[in-house]
Amino acid sequence: MAGIVSYGVYIPFYRLSCEEIGRAWGKRTTPGEKAIAGADEDSITMAVGATLDCLQNGEGDEVDSLYFASTTPPYALKQSASIVAAASNLRTDINTADFGHSLRSGTNALRCALDAVTSGTSKKVIVTASECQIPPPDSEQELTLGDGAAAFLVSNGDVAVEVEGSYSITSEFMDFWRLPFDKYTQSWEDRFVNEMGYFRLLPQAVFGLMKKYQLGLKDFYKVVYNAPDLRNHKAMAKVIGFDVKNQIQDSLFERIGYTGAASAMMMLVSALEGAKPGERILFANYGDGADAFILRVNRRAKEIIGGKGINGYLESKSMIPSYGSYLHFRDMMEWEVDRRPPPRTSLPILFRESEGLLRLVGQRCKQCLHEQFPRQRICMWCRARMETPDAYDNIWLPKQKGSLFSYSMERRAPVVDLPNVNCVVDLEGGARFYGLMTDRDPQKIKIGMPMEFTFRKINDGQGVHNYFWKVRPVSLLGI
C-alpha cells in the first residue's frame, strides 16, 4: 500500500514576537511568536532544508520524482523543483514539478505522488511544501503568518505510514487570492470567508471521507487539519465534533505562525513524531476545496527517520530584536540608495560551475585520497593531474559536518544580518570550506565548534536569485 517512508521539516532560526509587532504599532496583542525566514532564505532554501531532513537515511539515489508546493515561489517563470532537486543532490533523470496557486497545493502534490507510486510510474517521490510569506504591515496577517517547510518521502510497499484512503472536493470559492503584481494576499470579509468557505468545505471533506470508508470520529487517534488562525482552528474542532483535549494536533500557531501551503504538512510531521504503531490519523487540508486522508501508522513508525524534527527546530531559535530589523529582513521599505554597485550575475559561470554552486560537489584524488573543494585540475596535495573523471571521485559535501578553524567579522558589510561572518571550516572528510556563517550568535562563536552546511540565497543580481551553501552551528540550541 502507498504511504510515507520518512518525513522532514524546516523552521527558520529567527522568531518575531507578537508583542514586538504590537509595540511597533502601539497596539496590544496576544502572546506568541512566529518563525521568520532569514534575509538569505526563501521558499526554495527552506524546501531544500526540509528535503535533506527527510533523506537522513540516504535514499536520495532512489528518488525519481520531486514535487515542490508553494504559493510564494521565488520565480514566476522558472521551476523551483529543479533547483531543490539539484541542491538535494538528486539524480538528473527524475521528474520534477511545481504545484502552486492554492493553499491546498501541498496535499495536491501529495495526491499526485501517491498516484504515481501506486501506478508504478515512480518508485519514490519527494513531496515538499514551503512558504516564505510577506504580510501587510499593521494587519491581522502580520500577527499570524509564519515561514517554514515540510517534506515527505512517498513510496509503495513497506512504508512507515499507510494511506488507507482519501477523499477530495473542489470549489471555486473566493476567499484568499493574489493577483500577478500584488505584493500582499487579498481576502474578503472574515465572517463570509469563514462561514461560506472554511466551515462549509472542510467538514464536507471530513464527513465525506468517513462515510466513504465507514468510519467514525472515534476511530482516529489524532486529527490534523489546517486553519487560517488559532481561533478558527479551535472552532473547527467543535463544528465537526472532535475531542479538543485528546484528538486535535497542536496547530503550532503560537510558536511558528500559519505557514500557508506548508501548514497542514508541518502539523502532520509533528503528529507523526509522537505517533505509535497501529494509530490512525485523520489528515485534512483546506484551500479551493479540501482534501482528507486516512493514515495508519504501521510497525515501522519508530523507524521514520527525520533530522532535527519539529521539536528540535522549535527549541533552536533567536528572537529578532526589533520590528525595524524585521523590516530589513523582509525588505519591506525603500531604503537609502546604496553607493556600492549592485551584484551582477553571469549565467555562463553559473552553468559551468553548477555542480559546485548548487550541489556543492568536491573531489577526492584517487592517487592520494585527499578531498578538496572547489574542484581542481591539479591535486593540491600530491600534484596529480585531475583533468579526467577517472583521476578523482566526486564527493557530495553537504552530508559532512566539520569544525570551525577560523573566522572574521565584518560590521560594515553590505548585508542585512550584521555582522557578516566569514569563516574557514575543516570538514570531516578532509576538505576545507571557505564561506559564510549564518544562523549564529556572534557572541558565542568559538574556534572548534561543530558546523554543518545549509543552502541559502547569496544575493539577487540582474533579476537572478544566486544560491550557494553556507555553514551554521550544528547545535543551534543557545547559539
Residue 66 three-state SS:
strand
Distance between CA 59 and CA 326 in Å, rounded?
Answer: 37
How many other CB atoms are there within 10 angstroms of residue 443's CB atom? 6
φ and ψ of 177, to 5 deg: -155, 160
**Per-residue pLDDT at 415:** 87
Altogether, the residues listed in the chain come to a count of 479
Characterize the bridge pairing of strands 124-131 and 2-10: unpaired
What pLDDT is attached to residue 304? 63
What is the fold of 2-330?
Answer: Peroxisomal Thiolase; Chain A, domain 1 (3.40.47)
The ranges of the chain annotated as CATH 3.40.47.10 are 2-330
Query: Strand pairing partners for 258?
Result: 145
Give me the phi and psi of 55, to 5 degrees please. -95, 40
pLDDT recorded at residue 425: 98
- From the number of C-beta atoms within 10 Å of its C-beta (0-12, 13-18, 19+), residue 381 rates as middle
- Asked if 157 contacts 138 with a C-beta cutoff of 8 angstroms, the reply is no
CB within 8 A of 416, min separation 6: which ones?
A: 39, 328, 329, 331
- Alpha carbons 298 and 296: distance in angstroms, whole number: 6
State residue 477's pLDDT score: 45
pLDDT at 299: 65
The parts of the chain modelled with pLDDT lower than 50 are 477-479
Exposure of 91 by Cβ count < 10 A (0-12 exposed, 13-18 middle, 19+ buried)?
exposed
The helix, strand and coil proportions of the chain, stated in percent and rounded to the nearest 5, come to: 30, 30, 40
Strands (E), 344-463: 361-365, 371-372, 392-396, 402-410, 420-427, 432-437, 450-461
Q: Pairing relation of β-strands 464-473 and 318-319? A: unpaired
Element (H, E) at 335: none
SS3 287: coil
Closest CA to 135 of 313, 260, 230: 260
Look up cell 574542484; give the residue: 375
CB contact at 8 A, 436 and 413: no
Residue type, 299: R
Query: Residue 339 has what pLDDT?
Result: 82
Strands 14-17 and 2-10: unpaired
CA distances from 443 to 16, 409, 446 (A): 20, 11, 9
Neighbouring CB atoms inside 10 A of 294's CB total 21
CA angle 83/450/316 to nearest 5° reads 70
Give the model's pLDDT for residue 300: 61
Task: Supply the DSSP symbol for 321.
Answer: -
